[in-house]
Amino acid sequence: MYQRKHPSRFLRLLEVQYKAVFRRADNIVALIVQKYGGTSVGSPERIKNVAQRVAKYKAQGHQVVVVVSAMSGETNRLIALSKEIQKNPDPRELDVVISTGEQVTIGLVAMALMEQGLKAKSYTGAQVKIHTDSAFTKARIASIDEENIRTDLANDCVVVVAGFQGMDEAGNITTLGRGGSDTTGVAIAAALRADECQIYTDVDGVYTTDPRMVPEARRLKSITFEEMLEMASLGSKVLQIRSVEFAGKYKVKLRVLSSFADEGEGTLITFEENDKMEQAIISGIAFNRDEAKITVRGVPDKPGIAYQILGPVSEANIDVDMIIQNVGVDGSTDFSFTVNRNEFTRTMDILKGQVQPHIGAREVIGDNKTAKVSVVGVGMRSHVGIASKMFRTLAEEGINIQMISTSEIKISVVIEEKYLELAVRILHKAFDLDQEAI
């Protein structure tokens, strides 16, 4: 008996020791990027709390890079201030102004870390050398020079990087679009090949829908990268879409967590679909209030017409979302599409001024009180009837669907904005998202 038991006990002991050694080794080499959003650095107390969490990770032997947003409300304040001076602020100068919010936070966070007895050093985007293109207010990151950060980390220093900002080839300050600090966080994690990128925010993970709108929403333990990409692009602002794109491209391990809770595993963005048996058909509901619908009526039904309508819109750098062209009757048809509500007036002006007279359309009508609701889930691939369930649920509440668009893993509808909240709630219930997945 003893003889037989002994080797297995011995092996088990070896295994335990092996794991312990590796865990310790893991700890020593783990490089973690922590991104803190506006509310998480919204006051001196919150900043001190960030420093305490970082100190805890440092005490465990990790190397930590902290990426921070401006203190909550600051970016909005700076935009409003700029608009008081110039109704349509010059984009280059607007970036000069709105990038300052993050510069304040990096200095304060570095100071708070020093107060914890840690070595810390702050960097603006330009100081790191986060290179971007020159699309002011919505720049894209082209490359990151991570040498200085690596040297500081090797010297046991916590590096604090300003989110949301970079520098173009000519040395101009650029910003990455609202919510862009998420993208800085993930891009830095990708550049450093970090072990994990932790996005700390004011909710404790990604939920089945915005928990501020639907209190019954549930936190997801994990969500596939594809689903997160759809959720973000369809309006869930918990992660900026470009940050998810970066995570996908460079396989960054990404986790969303609360900075207001000390414990909790948050939500992990995974690259593999769960076991089909466990996979919920629908993972979440996303919505976007900023949708405006435009219809060009009585358009001649002939080749090239879509281009003649949308060409001038895209030349004006306006993104078009959903597009519908009706079946033509008697040689003419109607053409509808949606744009961001901010671009509504500009798009209407282009259509009425340039397009309508040119193509001889009957009229151009617009509605900027519309919203988009989407159900998202990789489980849709293997299940039929999701669309009809969605449409039936909305019909039962008398909600009219104005436009529909689908992909393999999502169905989106445009509805009147006043029904948005109701639509999200009833769909959340109809798809049992308030229940634990079986």
Q: Quick check: 122 binds ligand ASP (CB under 6 A)?
A: no
- The answer to whether 347 contacts ligand ASP (rule: CB under 6 A) is no
Measured from the CB atom, the residue of 217 and 238 that comes closer to Mg ion is 238
Q: How many CB atoms lie within 10 A of CB 191?
A: 22
Nearest residue (CB) to ligand ASP, 98 versus 305: 98
- Are 209 and 285 contacting, i.e. CB atoms less than 8 angstroms apart? yes
Q: What b/e readout covers 332-358, taking b as 16+ CB neighbours within 10 angstroms?
A: bbbbbbbbbbebbeebbebbeebbbee
Which residue in 292, 369, 377, 289 sits closest to 390, CA to CA?
377
* 75 touches ligand ADP (CB under 6 A): no
Task: Tell me whether strands 196-201 and 31-36 are parallel, antiparallel or unpaired.
Answer: parallel
141 vs 232, which CB is nearer to ligand ADP?
A: 232
Contact between residue 137 and residue 82 where contact means Cβ atoms under 8 Å apart = no
Rule CB under 6 A: is residue 82 a binding residue for ligand ASP? no
Q: Which residues are bridge partners to 67 per DSSP?
A: 35, 161
Closest by CA position to 177, among listed 234, 127, 227, 239: 239
Q: In terms of CB distance, is 211 or 328 closer to ligand ADP?
A: 211
For 61, how many CA atoms within 13 A lie in the half-sphere containing its CB? 8
Question: Which C-beta is closer to ligand ADP: that of 102 or that of 152?
Answer: 102
Per DSSP, what are the bridge partners of residue 238? Answer: none
The minimum distance between CB 64 and ligand ASP, in angstroms, equals 19
Residue pair 342/301 in contact (Cβ under 8 Å)? The answer is: no
Q: Which of 202, 216, 273, 367 binds ligand ADP (CB under 6 A)?
A: 202
Q: If binding is defined by CB under 6 A, does position 221 make contact with ligand ADP?
A: no
Interacting partner of 374 out of ligand ADP, Mg ion, ligand ASP, none (Cβ under 5 to 8 A depending on kind): none
89 binds ligand ASP (CB under 6 A): no
In the complex with ligand ADP, the residue whose CB is nearer, 160 or 351, is 160
- Minimum CB distance to Mg ion, residue 239 (Å): 7
105 sits near ligand ADP (criterion: CB under 6 A):
no
Q: Is residue 48 at the binding interface for ligand ASP, with CB under 6 A as the rule?
A: no
* Residues within window 274-303 making contact with ligand ADP, judged by CB under 6 A: 284
Under the binding rule (CB under 6 A), the answer on residue 75 touching ligand ASP is yes
> Which of residues 32, 36, 37, 390 is near ligand ASP by CB under 6 A?
37
For the chain, how big is the Rg over CA atoms in Å? Answer: 25
Given 179, 235, 366, 379, the residue binding Mg ion (CB under 5 A): 179
Q: Which does 284 bind (CB under 5 to 8 A by kind): ligand ADP, ligand ASP, Mg ion, none?
A: ligand ADP
CB 359 within 8 A of CB 305: yes
Report which of 110, 108, 106, 107 is spatially closest to residue 158, judged by C-alpha positions.
110
What DSSP string runs through 341-354?
GGGHHHHHHHIIII
What's the rounded Cα separation, in Å, for the pair 186 and 239? 10
144 interacts with ligand ADP by CB under 6 A: no
Q: Tokens representing 378?
A: 């990789």
Residues forming beta bridges with residue 268, ordered by sequence position: 222, 255
| Rounded least distance, CB 208 to ligand ADP, Å | 7
Residues 172-201 that bind ligand ASP (CB under 6 A): 178-182
Q: Is residue 224 close enough to count as binding ligand ASP by CB under 6 A?
A: no
Which tokens is 200 given?
């700390």
Binding footprint of Mg ion on the chain (CB under 5 A): 37, 179
Binding footprint of ligand ADP on the chain (CB under 6 A): 37-40, 69, 179, 201-203, 206-207, 209-212, 236-238, 284
Binding footprint of ligand ASP on the chain (CB under 6 A): 37-38, 69-70, 75, 101, 163-164, 178-182
